[in-house]
Amino acid sequence: NQARPPPFRPVSERTMIVDSARRAAGGASSGLRRLAVATWNVAAVNNNPFEYWLTIPDDASYDALMTDVEKFLESPGDGDVPVRSVFTDDMYDGLERRMRDTAGWGGLGTVRRMWEEDYGSRRVVSGFVRDASLGRKRLASMPDRMTNTINLAGVKAGEKACRPTVINMYDGDLSSTEIWWESWLSFMFNDPLPIRTGEGSGVEERVPWQLLRPIKRSKYPDVTEEEESVSLPLQTLCGAIFDAILVHMMNHVSTPDVWQPLKRRI
């Protein structure tokens, strides 16, 4: 009788890789050499031109900029100034007016106390940018997620609206925090944008502040009860502080005529 062929057994991807490595090493297990492999996920979910360190052979100013940004964030020295020297009390007052008169949010007395007793006196790098608790609470990343780059619909389908910030494709003037602030307030509280709503084909106009969502303790347990109760105005404040620090940092380590053309090029 003819012998039956051995039953088919699926070969795992790992087994295939090991077998290939053995063949490349000469076939014998005794001659197997170790192969170290590194992978790098280069995808990004946002449009931050500074998300990764690029290679731009014909422009030394890019490497200089990225090196200086790294130095500032690692060892800011005298540059680690109080937040209110970058995002000023006047800026806070203007933001508070818009959050009250335009958005109609409550809890602004609580947020003002947080500003006066905490956030305003923090240091821009050690007390804010590098504060891991802000990340766990999503107080700066959540508003960025909702308003960084907004896909438009209707007659503007295919276009994008970018919040005035360093970390997207906004191509307006960011040469000073004063210029940035006027544009930022207008974007967040003035400009209605046509966006698609839900799963259907409906298009409605929304001002960016209307896209923000409460931050829930049930999902982000580091958030306190008080922070949860004022999460809309508080995240708006933290988002504004974060953007202000980025604009300040770029103009501190470089000059607008250097870093802004680089940003647009990237």
Q: Is residue 58 in a domain?
A: no
Any residues with CB less than 8 A from the CB of 16 and at least 6 apart, and which?
A: none
Q: Is residue 189 in a domain?
A: yes
Token pair of 61 as six digits: 């100013």
Domain range enclosing 235: 84-265
Give, in order, the Cα–Cα distances in Å from 188 to each of 95, 148, 183: 10, 11, 9
Say if residue 200's pLDDT is above 90: no
Indicate the helix (H) or strand (E) that contains 194. Answer: strand 193-196
Q: Is residue 247 in a domain?
A: yes
Total of domains in the chain = 1
- Residue 194 has what pLDDT? 95
CA dist 183 and 177 (Å) reads 10
**Do the Cβ atoms of 247 and 166 come closer than 8 Å?**
yes
Q: Is residue 6 in a domain?
A: no
- Residue 123 has what pLDDT? 99
Q: Read off the pLDDT of residues 141-178 as tens digits, 9 standing for 90 and up.
A: 999 999 999 999 998 999 999 999 999 999 999 999 99
Give, in order, the Cα–Cα distances in Å from 29 to each of 13, 21, 125, 254: 19, 10, 53, 56
CA dist 142 and 212 (Å) reads 8
Q: Is residue 4 in a domain?
A: no
CA angle, 84 then 100 then 247, to 5°: 35
Model confidence at 210, in pLDDT bands (50, 70, 90)? Answer: very high
Among positive and negative, which fits the CA dihedral 166, 170, 174, 178?
Answer: negative
pTM across the whole model: 0.83
**Do the Cβ atoms of 83 and 119 come closer than 8 Å?**
yes
CA angle, 169 then 154 then 180, to 5°: 30
CA dist 148 and 196 (Å) reads 16
Q: Is residue 74 in a domain?
A: no
